Amino acid sequence: MTDKREQGAGLLAALGCFSMWGVLPLYFHLIGPSVTPWEILAHRMIWAAVLLTLFVVLTHRSARIMAVVRDRRLLLALMTTAVLISVNWGLFIWAVSSHHVLQASLGYYINPLLNVVLGLVFFRERLRPLQVAAVLLAAAGVMIMVVGFGRVPWVSLILAGSFGFYGAIRKRIGVDSITGLYIETMLLLPFALLWLGHLYQQQQAVFLQGSISTDVLLIGCGLVTVLPLVLFTMGARRLKLGTLGLIQYMTPTLHLLTGVFIFGEPFSRASLITFACIWAGLALYTLDTLRAQRRIREG
């Protein structure tokens, strides 16, 4: 495949990935209010584990997975990331069902800027002036929301924090995304099965007790978890980091549009100012990233 075709395939994969992540609120909303966020989370873990097992078998990754599992340091790190990703998934599903999609959107806008701070803490990466300005603008946006609404945007901060620390730990241990997610889901699988068993015992489970369409959507939670990750891996291999960084803003933007125009969540003046601060920070962050890449290319 030529370079242009490689880049084209990478672009399509990245667009598909971030679009799918962007419409997740609609998907979880379609499942309906009769299913609790925690049952949806359990199904997301279970069916993701099933799909990833098939993917691992078909791509002959068993030896790679066993090598990671035998390493106690890596396994302990993946136990930690499994907890972080379960918190992230669970809170996101809860945010959709509780009409906090705008806060979820804000969290994923904040995430790239939080990654800059985590890079400083975990990897001793030096912050350039534009990065400092971007982080300060994001902090100002959060403070405006605290003052404007009289409360901390805890959904946004936990979503950004859980995903940020998840990414930082995964970057440090260097396990590839598919292998890592497979081990994480297998670690979470017993808890998901126990929770579903508890729901059936209490006669509160919806799966196989209601409509076929709901059952199909619950099973599909595995696909909407695994497929975007596979597409992201394809895109990341073929695209420049700067291009991938720009496309990633599709996800929170789609969340924002969904929250305002489809779910009718209120978008106040304080919200507008908060998002404006975050967008300005992201603009500076993106400009700094593009400049840094240009300097690297020029030698």
Torsion of CA 240, 171, 228, 212, to 10 degrees: -170
Q: What is the pLDDT of residues 185-239, one digit of tens each?
A: 999 999 999 999 999 999 999 998 879 999 999 999 999 999 998 898 888 778 7
For residue 104, which of 282, 280, 275, 285 has the smallest C-alpha distance?
Answer: 275
> From residue 188, how far is each of 23, 62, 84, 88, 264 by CA, in Å?
24, 19, 11, 13, 34
State the sign of the Cα–Cα–Cα–Cα dihedral 124, 162, 42, 197. positive
The whole-number pLDDT of residue 297 equals 73
Cα distances from 206 to residues 40, 160, 210, in angstroms, run 10, 30, 6
Phi and psi based region of residue 60 (left: phi greater than 0; alpha: psi -120 to 50; beta: remaining): left
Question: Could you write out the three-class secondary structure of 233-292?
Answer: HHHHHHCCHHHHHHHCCHHHHHHHHHHHHHCCCCCCHHHHHHHHHHHHHHHHHHHHHHHH
Nearest to 283 by CA among 104, 125, 102, 141: 141
List, for the chain, all residue ranges whose pLDDT scores fall below the cut of 50. Answer: none
Q: How far apart are alpha carbons 116 and 85 in whole angstroms?
A: 20
Whether residue 280 contacts residue 137, with contact meaning beta carbons closer than 8 Å, is answered with yes
Q: What is the pTM of this model?
A: 0.89
Q: Count other C-beta atoms under 10 Å from residue 288's C-beta.
A: 19
55, amino acid identity: F
Alpha carbons 17 and 245: distance in angstroms, whole number: 13
The residue extents of the domains of the chain are 3-298
pLDDT for res 240: 72
Strand blocks (E) in the chain: none
Q: How many CB atoms lie within 10 A of CB 85?
A: 22
What's the token pair of residue 59?
């791509």
pLDDT at 156: 92
What dihedral angle (degrees, nearest 10) is formed by the CA atoms of 191, 196, 202, 208? 180
Q: What pLDDT does residue 88 have?
A: 95
Confidence (pLDDT) at 248:
85
In angstroms, the Cα distances linking 267 to 26, 152, 160, 252, 281 are: 19, 16, 20, 15, 20
